[in-house]
Structure 1
């Protein structure tokens, strides 16, 4: 049976044919890694919508006749756990691609793994710009509007305020640091006479809110840029309200309008903060009504922003797989470049830019208010992400390999 390379292939054809066909017709497996135990407010609604989206795809016949399966892993907010899970998903679970990520440092760790192991990684949530710029790579694509993009949206509003003296507060890790950097740079560009008189960088999840509020008040700013979220935000709002930090001061705040973080505050929610967020109850595009009604019918609860992020991630992956017509990594990457897909927001089609693998997904910008004992967004607008990205030549400088 030693027939040379071609002869060996032909001779083994009868044995190999069945497994090859079976693999091709088997399910498409996605390895999804996220900080479920450390960030449940965002990621429980996220996983709900992920499951709903996958079920919808499979109920419609799957992708090119193949079902989608997801293998979930919890990284507990630790980059080293995320990398360990990624290796196990690739080597043991035989997933075809990786997805997910919440915290920026975790997302960067998975992206580095994807680059070293030449596997596609569709990053759902990590907001760090390094993911697609300074540490961007061929294998990583990011769905969510980035730190730079959301800061640019907020600066449009912040520049209209009469305030000149600003203070900042942000969690002390990559996302918080880059948020403050971009806000300062973009606001200074828009209003050269502004001054930044104080910075506070409390540890993520361990804010000493009393001390932080006292330090900010001591600098006597006219306005505050806030990047805290989850339990840190709740503690900051309560201490700031109790100690009068927000009296006669405007606050511009990333993420605070997201129901994940606004709902827990109830009637303690701050009023008149300029925020990015998700006014789920008032978005009445056809696509969003369909998504919102399906989510509420299935889970007897309203969607959060995490729900939209998950649903859009699955939609993007399914659209890519139809385009690639298979799970070969190179073909999937080519299919991701310039990929367009409909978002659950229903506002406009989203595109993954070929230049830096950043999607043009947008965000809602508005003000916080309290209505019927709960925090809501009012006076909001949709900011299309494609209008808040730097020019291509700037991106090429930030991402040398682009």
Structure 2
């Protein structure tokens, strides 16, 4: 009997996942459901390499130090074969560094900071979602087409918000050299004083606003902006706002006509999307959010990598993931060899308040492969090795 536990352990492929469940439930509850659905589908099809897949999750409290401790526990106590997860960019960067130190494969599902695959990129870290640069680059053509000269920016004051604002300014200057940035508001994440932020933006009299706030910060900003008329006759370009996680809570306060990235799950007609929505609704009696797609696609990516590698050896999995093509609800994606970033794209459209509910209209899907810096620029940013 003393030999039973190790033998049983070898019959399971363990995926360790670290995330901010308590801190960001709106995104991460659907994310977990997406992961669970993927694990169930993989196991129903016979598992991986003839073994059952097990997902073991830990909460990082939105804290980089806690995330590293949880990852360490997953490796040493649970003996997971691969790590995934993270929501906040600063947490994702901590896990990126941890993966390098421990020489373990880490797939960052959600954190958006460019540094994960560029400035802080390493041999052990891959990333699924379109990065901050990619998502801002998807919005800039529409922003420049507005031909508005005076822009104000509002963003959460941490890695993701700072990099989104910097990238927007850089790409807008290139697209529209006469652009002016007349105000910036950078409240702490989760602690926006919406009244003073809206007042400061109003005082600057911008022609248009670039918003990066999300979750509860976004709801407070929209409510105050509506009350004070900030958005009246003023264009707003907004990252993430079309995601159901953040659009649905706005309900009848949803502003009309914002240009946003998001996920209009209710009207996408591709076969991959319809199959995913049907399976998700059947399993959970609920509709998917963007987090559902990210969680599902992260597990499917790991599964396809292990299948291609025919092994859970870290180096073999890394070699398999580089250039790997994966089918997702958004269609096929590929993990680039030059920076280990996936080519997953995103939907860009406008918000509409329809019968007291926010939806996305006039949207289109943009292929992430088309919104990347040149290989030469990536090479300059990314450390060797």
Alignment of 1:192-341 (within 5 A): 192-341=177-326
1:181 aligns with one of 166, 173, 188: 166
* Corresponding position of 2:361: 378
| Aligned: 1:38 with 2:20 | no
The alignment yields a C-alpha RMSD, in angstroms, of 1.4
* Corresponding position of 1:163: 148
1:356 aligns with one of 339, 342, 350: 339
* Corresponding position of 2:93: 108
Compute the TM-score of the two structures, normalised by the length of structure 1: 0.94
- Aligned CA distance change for structure 1 residues 392 and 138 (closer, same or farther; 3 Å): same
* Corresponding position of 1:392: 375
Structure 1 CA distance, aligned partners of 2:7 and 2:384? 38
1:97 aligns with one of 82, 85, 104: 82
Structure 2 CA distance, aligned partners of 1:91 and 1:19? 16
| Aligned: 1:73 with 2:58 | yes
The runs of 5 or more residues in structure 1 that have no matched partner are 1-14
| Superimposed CA distance per residue, residues 167-205 of structure 1 (whole angstroms, 9 cap, x where no aligned partner) | 000000000000000000001100000000111100000
Relative contact order higher in (CA < 8 Å, ≥ 6 apart): 2
- Aligned CA distance change for structure 1 residues 54 and 153 (closer, same or farther; 3 Å): same
| Aligned: 1:191 with 2:176 | yes
SS at match of 2:153: strand
| Aligned: 1:126 with 2:111 | yes
| Superimposed CA distance per residue, residues 312-343 of structure 1 (whole angstroms, 9 cap, x where no aligned partner) | 00110110010111111111111111111011
Aligned residues: 384
- 1:162 positional shift: 2.2
1:56 aligns with one of 26, 29, 41: 41
| Superimposed CA distance per residue, residues 90-125 of structure 1 (whole angstroms, 9 cap, x where no aligned partner) | 011100110001000000001111100100000000
The runs of 5 or more residues in structure 2 that have no matched partner are none
Structure 2 CA distance, aligned partners of 1:392 and 1:48? 35
| Superimposed CA distance per residue, residues 198-238 of structure 1 (whole angstroms, 9 cap, x where no aligned partner) | 11100000000000001111111000000000000000000
Whether contact under 8 Å (2:144, 2:175) holds in the other structure is yes
1:138 aligns with one of 123, 131, 135: 123
Structure 2 CA distance, aligned partners of 1:67 and 1:111? 27
Structure 2 CA distance, aligned partners of 1:301 and 1:21? 38
- Aligned CA distance change for structure 1 residues 20 and 41 (closer, same or farther; 3 Å): closer
- 1:400 positional shift: 3.1
SS at match of 1:152: helix
- 1:21 positional shift: 6.8
Structure 1 runs of 4+ aligned residues shifted over 2 Å read: 18-24
Structure 2 CA distance, aligned partners of 1:289 and 1:242? 38
| Superimposed CA distance per residue, residues 37-92 of structure 1 (whole angstroms, 9 cap, x where no aligned partner) | 00000000111111011001000000121111011000010001000001000011
Structure 2 CA distance, aligned partners of 1:93 and 1:61? 22
